[in-house]
A and B are shown apart, each in its own frame.
Chain A
């Protein structure tokens, strides 16, 4: 086991939590990520193999599925696979093994920072952050959009619960935008 200590995207040794009104924003470093892109001509096989990996049908456009290993759709025949970091730090390796030559797999764990937004009034915060019609988003939907000039994935876990994946190097800027929106809206 290696002996290098990890820091969170916000630079702390433990994740940061902010609360305004009834909405909480939690930095969530405990997720491993890997991208999966089907090889040309292998798309059906890749979908099947991905389904096996996440224990559900490979998600269609704009959806996510699976637990504890889940995947969300990111593009035509492309997905992001996510799983708990503690148990799946080598997720890319696992995915690569399972998908074989049906897909190209690339580790993405530390390309992203994840913030979980929870609370009754979360929609009031989301409408200050992104152009998606979050009021209409249902549990199981995933979309990519821009938040304060940053390309982000927005995952709707349930009607009052969203996860935002943003570029890790800009975690501080994204966090600042989220908290400012919380203070403004709540």
Chain B
């Protein structure tokens, strides 16, 4: 197909022809085109369908404010719904499809909605679909859901990469039109660190769309020269294809750079887009203005466009919606479009100007004091009907109709911190208000200065002012300086189906109904009619709706107010906000020192927070994880096992007040702990609930090593720093985390000492007498490597924890395995670790769930009343010390073989099973190879006095009821003889 509506000139590269497809038809275009400009050039006006009535939609604008020409771009797993054709940069091989239509764009079955539009008035769905009640979810809602929505996702994983980055500058300039370019030049020449960002792929803003001159140059050439000079300044960074999406606190701006969207395929490793956080000392908004339409009957047909967009397509993109065009305007700018189109050879059928004193033109007809009252054309504009000043009507034969209702400054970013814009009655538009985000200034059309000269001047002056520049400023080129005064004209009287929000199909009559029903606040109007809630967020529609509501309510526009401008300025792919943090990179992965060895051994790994830990080590022939875990437990209890417990938090506590400090941190006493000894410690939150538990070993009078649970390592460190810095600032105590510095392994089982004897250097006595239960100390291993040894036990066996610098952890594990062969040493994972601690009745994460107290855990007496410790006072509250308080117990099935379910609830042996009779719950459960039975730990009301009682364990969720016996939580070696052996 040829480019029948391609005009002369423009900023496109005719030397290169690009091929693209729209709805499976092939077309050609040139570099510099957008998808919209190329479709227009190829004679395609119909590009989409509206949301509710499925009305045919063409292009309305030439920028990111586009509500209508939105398509599904690309195919397969790169399909990108709701993409604006107006900002989609053309590349060879581009493929796009129209959306929200079936079976085709031209014949859309749901266009039937348009015929029933009177039944589908604003908010009709709130008043019906209520009977019969069940039908809403079975029938009505599925119907509505299917019909709603615009484009579709591929349902496949997005294959592209996204990046995030951080940039800093003295001055961020948002928008590279005349004011932005001059501001950048002023600041750049003065040596400031400047970032100039613009959403377009060609910098220059409106200058690229205009035919007037700046000095001796055409506007576009002048812009090009400015860009060239700015590019040469090392302190100025130009960021084209970059939308500043939001103004966040303290001068931080979000910006999205589209680094790959204009490419057919991304080079390997390159991102599709980058989310920049720009840290600016000052920022200058030079975002320009957006033209606004006028509402009239059937003003939504493809071919009806903003006049400035028609001009942009003609001047910049050398394309037109049709060969015959009309203009409908209430201001002089509309005439500029007519003149430019005329100069490009487009036939101007008429300029319809509502003003009786419209300027006269001799090259084409100007209908002064006239209005467009209706249009025709099923899939695109064919005729426009004009009501002339004398009341007669006339039909204009045209395929394009440019509408100009004046301009709205793009104030969005000025309102991102809840500031409100101010009404300017000369412009009949909102301009930036007084309460801008701190550090933000505004120049050019965004500030309401509409002429080119004023924009250039304010760009220079604002930049100079915010940077406090002294001395001479860059000269300004001569530029048009036409005074701008807009007489507001929002809609043609007497119309009903005149569109305000073209995407969401909100018409003048919907706003009237909203008013009639009392939805008069702008927020109610928006929410009731959906005005401004479409993908363009009402950039071309809100103002019209607001003006109409003000008129209906008999209030002024500023008294009626605006809805709130929210980021992002234009929609941003969710993938861009996520950056690289997805898939395996979602969170960092922490590997234990024995990880590579465990992998070689075929370990199965499990995520524990960010750690990957070996869960069990299957042997050939083992088909079920239980086989592996049972073996690991049995072998450890029978001989010796080794487990990597590096993940436990380790905090080094030093200082002359270290012991006193721990006395405050732990509810039990630490002041009298001897050097070379370790003690179990229970840490409470200030509210008296258990925060964490662990051990503290005293390596010297003024030196402790504290361990925390894996899960709470970070939280406990923060808490300790809080206590140190904020509560007891004069304590001489220093803290540092050493979790990662040491590879720490539990060596457990009756033969653990024998195994360690082969590792620990001979000068260290590790006999029961020389190194008794709870001893700790610095030692050396394997011929002199510094190490730490703790005689502590989580498994209940004779056990040690040995630590060496992490880089030697891999080698130490291999050594333990080889030296342990004679004892049949077994590596064990977190499952066996868990089984053994349940057998021993040690509380862990499932029991320390943030609601349990020391009393619940059976450690109530540990809370010392003789000293001040965090949480001790509030732990005494009555509600935490009731007679029937939950106590930790062991749970065993009455019938061997029955399973215990963690999360099951405990009910009396008989009686009802319901919440009112709930007496406790099971926190942890496992199969105990040592007892050859399932066992569990749990909390039971007055549990400590109910040992031996038979109860029911119920789990209706998993359809289970088991008869259980309440027993002591210490299933294995309750007297603790083994660990002291």
User: A and B touching (C-beta < 8 Å)?
Assistant: yes
- A contacts, CB < 8 Å to B: 1-9, 11, 29, 35, 37-41, 78, 90, 103-104, 106-112, 127-128, 130-133, 135-136, 148-150, 167-174, 176-177, 180-181, 183-184
A11 to B785, CA, bound (A): 20
**A130, A133, A183, A184, most chain B CB atoms within 10 A:** A184
Decide if B130 is an interface residue (CB 8 Å cutoff): no
A134 to B656, CA, bound (A): 39
A7 and B785 contact, CB distance less than 8 A: no
Contact string against A for B residues 65-102, beta-carbon threshold 8 Å, 1 for contact and 0 otherwise: 00000000000000000000000000000000000000
Decide if B321 is an interface residue (CB 8 Å cutoff): no
A136 and B163 contact, CB distance less than 8 A: no
B811 and A5 contact, CB distance less than 8 A: yes
Task: State whether A110 and B811 are in contact (beta carbons under 8 Å apart), knowing that A40-B655, A128-B163, A177-B580 are contacts in the complex.
Answer: no
A6 and B808 contact, CB distance less than 8 A: yes
A108 and B741 contact, CB distance less than 8 A: yes
The interface residues of chain A lying within 8 Å CB-to-CB of B587 are: 149
CB under 8 Å from chain A, chain B span 641-683: 646, 652, 654-657
Decide if B426 is an interface residue (CB 8 Å cutoff): no
Choose among A39, A109, A132 the residue that contacts B741 (Cβ–Cβ < 8 A): A109
B654 and A4 contact, CB distance less than 8 A: no
Task: State whether A180 and B740 are in contact (beta carbons under 8 Å apart), knowing that A39-B656, A127-B166 are contacts in the complex.
Answer: no
A112 to B805, CA, bound (A): 11
Task: State whether A4 and B652 are in contact (beta carbons under 8 Å apart), knowing that A136-B168, A170-B588 are contacts in the complex.
Answer: no
Chain A at the B interface: SS class: mixed
B161 and A169 contact, CB distance less than 8 A: no
Can you report 7 residue pairs joining A to B where beta carbons are below 8 Å apart? A4-B811, A7-B810, A40-B732, A106-B736, A107-B738, A107-B741, A171-B591
Contact string against A for B residues 704-747, beta-carbon threshold 8 Å, 1 for contact and 0 otherwise: 00000000000000000000000000111110111111110000
Q: Residue on B with the closest CB to A182?
A: B269
The interface residues of chain B lying within 8 Å CB-to-CB of A90 are: 786
Task: State whether A169 and B590 are in contact (beta carbons under 8 Å apart), knowing that A29-B807, A104-B654, A110-B805 are contacts in the complex.
Answer: yes
Choose among B581, B738, B804 the residue that contacts A108 (Cβ–Cβ < 8 A): B738
Choose among B588, B589, B652, B657 the residue that contacts A106 (Cβ–Cβ < 8 A): B652
Given A40-B731, A40-B733, A110-B743, 4 other A-B contacts at CB below 8 A? A11-B596, A78-B734, A104-B652, A170-B590
A40 and B730 contact, CB distance less than 8 A: yes
**B161, B164, B730, most chain A CB atoms within 10 A:** B164
Choose among A4, A35, A132, A167 the residue that contacts B804 (Cβ–Cβ < 8 A): A4
Choose among A7, A9, A170, A177 the residue that contacts B610 (Cβ–Cβ < 8 A): A170
A3 and B782 contact, CB distance less than 8 A: yes
Q: Residue on A with the closest CB to B611?
A: A169
Q: Residue on A with the closest CB to B781?
A: A2
Q: Residue on B with the closest CB to A173?
A: B588
The interface residues of chain A lying within 8 Å CB-to-CB of B742 are: 110
The interface residues of chain B lying within 8 Å CB-to-CB of A136 are: 168
B167 and A127 contact, CB distance less than 8 A: yes
A130 to B730, CA, bound (A): 35
Chain B contact residue count (CB 8 A cutoff): 64
- B contacts, CB < 8 Å to A: 161, 163-168, 268-271, 274, 277, 279, 580-581, 585, 587-592, 595-596, 610-611, 646, 652, 654-657, 702-703, 730-734, 736-743, 780-786, 804-808, 810-812, 815
A149 and B807 contact, CB distance less than 8 A: no
Min C-beta distance of B583 to chain A, whole Å = 11
The interface residues of chain B lying within 8 Å CB-to-CB of A112 are: 740
A170 to B592, CA, bound (A): 9
Q: Residue on A with the closest CB to B786?
A: A90
The interface residues of chain B lying within 8 Å CB-to-CB of A7 are: 596, 807, 810-811
The interface residues of chain A lying within 8 Å CB-to-CB of B164 are: 128
Choose among A39, A135, A183 the residue that contacts B269 (Cβ–Cβ < 8 A): A183
The interface residues of chain A lying within 8 Å CB-to-CB of B161 are: 180, 184
Min C-beta distance of A176 to chain B, whole Å = 6
Task: State whether A184 and B269 are in contact (beta carbons under 8 Å apart), knowing that A2-B783, A7-B810, A37-B734 are contacts in the complex.
Answer: yes
A183 and B165 contact, CB distance less than 8 A: no
A1 and B807 contact, CB distance less than 8 A: no
Choose among B655, B732, B741, B781 the residue that contacts A111 (Cβ–Cβ < 8 A): B741
The interface residues of chain A lying within 8 Å CB-to-CB of B806 are: 110-111, 168
Min C-beta distance of B777 to chain A, whole Å = 16
Q: Residue on A with the closest CB to B721?
A: A75
A131 and B740 contact, CB distance less than 8 A: no
Choose among A29, A39, A150, A167 the residue that contacts B655 (Cβ–Cβ < 8 A): A39
The interface residues of chain B lying within 8 Å CB-to-CB of A174 are: 588
The interface residues of chain B lying within 8 Å CB-to-CB of A177 are: 580, 585
Choose among A11, A35, A103, A131 the residue that contacts B595 (Cβ–Cβ < 8 A): A11
The interface residues of chain B lying within 8 Å CB-to-CB of A168 are: 740-741, 806
The interface residues of chain B lying within 8 Å CB-to-CB of A9 are: 807
A39 and B734 contact, CB distance less than 8 A: yes
Q: Residue on A with the closest CB to B761?
A: A2
The interface residues of chain B lying within 8 Å CB-to-CB of A171 are: 591
A2 to B277, CA, bound (A): 50
The interface residues of chain A lying within 8 Å CB-to-CB of B655 are: 39-40, 104
Min C-beta distance of A90 to chain B, whole Å = 8
B805 and A149 contact, CB distance less than 8 A: no
Closest 6 A/B residue pairs (Cβ): A183-B269, A104-B654, A110-B806, A40-B732, A2-B785, A37-B734
Min C-beta distance of A104 to chain B, whole Å = 4
A180 to B19, CA, bound (A): 33
Q: Residue on A with the closest CB to B647?
A: A169
B589 and A167 contact, CB distance less than 8 A: no
The interface residues of chain A lying within 8 Å CB-to-CB of B743 are: 110
The interface residues of chain A lying within 8 Å CB-to-CB of B737 are: 111
Min C-beta distance of A175 to chain B, whole Å = 11
Min C-beta distance of A71 to chain B, whole Å = 15
A77 to B596, CA, bound (A): 38
The interface residues of chain B lying within 8 Å CB-to-CB of A173 are: 585, 588-589
B740 and A104 contact, CB distance less than 8 A: no
The interface residues of chain B lying within 8 Å CB-to-CB of A184 are: 161, 163, 269-271
Q: Residue on A with the closest CB to B592?
A: A169
A130 to B781, CA, bound (A): 40
A107 to B739, CA, bound (A): 11
B784 and A1 contact, CB distance less than 8 A: yes
Task: State whether A176 and B585 are in contact (beta carbons under 8 Å apart), knowing that A106-B654, A111-B739, A127-B166 are contacts in the complex.
Answer: yes
The interface residues of chain A lying within 8 Å CB-to-CB of B805 are: 107, 109-110
Task: State whether A6 and B589 are in contact (beta carbons under 8 Å apart), knowing that A109-B741, A133-B279 are contacts in the complex.
Answer: no
A9 to B161, CA, bound (A): 27
A109 to B610, CA, bound (A): 22
Choose among B279, B811, B815 the residue that contacts A6 (Cβ–Cβ < 8 A): B811
A103 to B734, CA, bound (A): 9
A135 and B590 contact, CB distance less than 8 A: no
Q: Residue on B with the closest CB to A110?
A: B806
B168 and A2 contact, CB distance less than 8 A: no
The interface residues of chain B lying within 8 Å CB-to-CB of A2 are: 780-785, 808
Choose among A3, A6, A29, A172 the residue that contacts B783 (Cβ–Cβ < 8 A): A3
B588 and A131 contact, CB distance less than 8 A: no
B610 and A127 contact, CB distance less than 8 A: no
A149 and B580 contact, CB distance less than 8 A: no
A170 to B815, CA, bound (A): 24
The interface residues of chain A lying within 8 Å CB-to-CB of B786 are: 90
B736 and A108 contact, CB distance less than 8 A: yes
Choose among B268, B589, B590, B782 the residue that contacts A4 (Cβ–Cβ < 8 A): B782
Min C-beta distance of A15 to chain B, whole Å = 12
The interface residues of chain B lying within 8 Å CB-to-CB of A8 are: 807
A15 to B812, CA, bound (A): 20
**A9, A104, A112, most chain B CB atoms within 10 A:** A104
The interface residues of chain A lying within 8 Å CB-to-CB of B731 are: 40
**B590, B596, B655, B807, most chain A CB atoms within 10 A:** B807
Min C-beta distance of B323 to chain A, whole Å = 46
Min C-beta distance of B598 to chain A, whole Å = 12
A168 to B595, CA, bound (A): 13
Min C-beta distance of B66 to chain A, whole Å = 30
